[in-house]
Amino acid sequence: MRPGSPVIDARFYELIGPVAAAEIAAATGAVVVCGDAGALVAALAPLDQAGAGDLAFCEAVPKSGRIETAATACLVPPGGAAALPDGIVGLEVRAPKSVLAAAVARLVHLRTLAPGQPAVHPDAVLEDAVQVLPGAVIGAGARIGRGTVIGASATIGPGVCIGRDCQIGHGVRIACALIGDRVKIGSNSVIGEAGFGVTGLPENPVDVPQLGRVVIQDDVTLGALVAVDRAAFGETVVGLASKIDNFVHVGHNVRLGRGVVIAAFGGISGSTEVGDFVLMGGRVGIGDHHVIGERAILAAGSAVLSDVPAREIWQGYPAQPAMRWRREQVMLRRLAEPKKKS
């Protein structure tokens, strides 16, 4: 087994390879078009982060006609192998992203609680004055800092690290996560569940494996029934001293800056970046892959479908600068008023 991967955190995932590229081809229905079918791969990684021993994937050949990667092997669409650098094993398949689950099953396993393990696994490390309330379970390799309270029926997965003086509420589930000091997590929140990655739409929706983690920095407060999804690769980050209300969803690969405040029922779609000290009212929704500038304010009920500049106030559906939205509402109201008879 490869000793480690720069992309996949071994505290949360077990690398079970290596396997030959030919075995990956058989599992995914791909065809080995170029390179050594016997070359060994041990982990999955994005194109730009893959190195020797990694399997990468490319959904579509770039307009430049060249796929830039240092992976040992790469899943590519039909005809894509010609765009790979010399020496890389080209595995051509109709929908590379749709077959990732089959490839991952040969390379990576998510570490889970051991059947029949005691409430606190012998390999877990708990500092002084940690309180574990009835019904809580702590997995192998977890580390809990001094003075932290683990609530009743909470589940702390293998390898999870929780800092000092934290308060983990009743029924909380944490997996694939690194949590700082003085963090508060409300009852029944879920940290580190798989992000919502789906491909093969619309005829054949397929779950895309999620192999990243969650990082929650110091002094963060999460309310009850909050969901923070782990990244597909890399990290989902909740920044220093951010405060998140009940019933909020933070999607995979989202990065929240310092001091972000999110009111109830907010939803942030995957790979969105939220700058420092952003304020979000209740029921704000943000589409994927957007950038919200620092100190921006998003008014309650806004649907953000584009980037938001720093320090601006946005409102509406779709959201836009607040003063423009208000003027439009006034104009629409006037248009809707019945005309007076002369």
From first CA to last CA, the distance across the chain in angstroms is 87
Residue 332 lies in a domain: no
**191 and 302 fall within a common domain:** yes
User: What per-residue confidence (pLDDT) applies to 250?
Assistant: 98
- Per-residue tokens: 220: 């963060």
**181 and 263 fall within a common domain:** yes
Report the sign of the C-alpha dihedral through residues 84, 88, 92, 93, in that order: negative
Domain of residue 205, residue span: 176-325
User: What per-residue confidence (pLDDT) applies to 201?
Assistant: 79
User: What per-residue confidence (pLDDT) applies to 342?
Assistant: 62
**58 and 198 fall within a common domain:** no
User: What per-residue confidence (pLDDT) applies to 2?
Assistant: 39
User: What per-residue confidence (pLDDT) applies to 4?
Assistant: 53
Residues 6+ apart with CB under 8 A from 212: 9, 176, 195, 230, 231, 232, 233, 234, 235, 236, 252, 253
Write down the catalytic residue from 109, 170, 252, 289: 252
Residue 100 lies in a domain: yes
User: What per-residue confidence (pLDDT) applies to 338?
Assistant: 83
- Per-residue tokens: 296: 């921006």
Number of residues assigned to the chain: 342
Task: Judge whether 43 and 63 are in contact, CB under 8 Å.
Answer: no
**91 and 225 fall within a common domain:** no
**87 and 196 fall within a common domain:** no
**Tens digit of each residue's pLDDT (9 = 90 or more) over 137-174:** 999 999 999 999 999 999 999 999 999 999 999 999 99
User: What per-residue confidence (pLDDT) applies to 3?
Assistant: 43
Question: 178 vs 2, 20, 156, 183, 248, CA distance in Å?
Answer: 23, 33, 11, 11, 19
**Tens digit of each residue's pLDDT (9 = 90 or more) over 32-62:** 999 999 999 999 999 999 999 999 999 999 9
Number of structural domains the chain divides into: 2
Residue ending a domain, choose from 92, 110, 128: 110
User: What per-residue confidence (pLDDT) applies to 55?
Assistant: 97
Residue ending a domain, choose from 62, 85, 110: 110
Q: Name the stretches of the chain with pLDDT < 50.
A: 1-3
252 classed as catalytic: yes
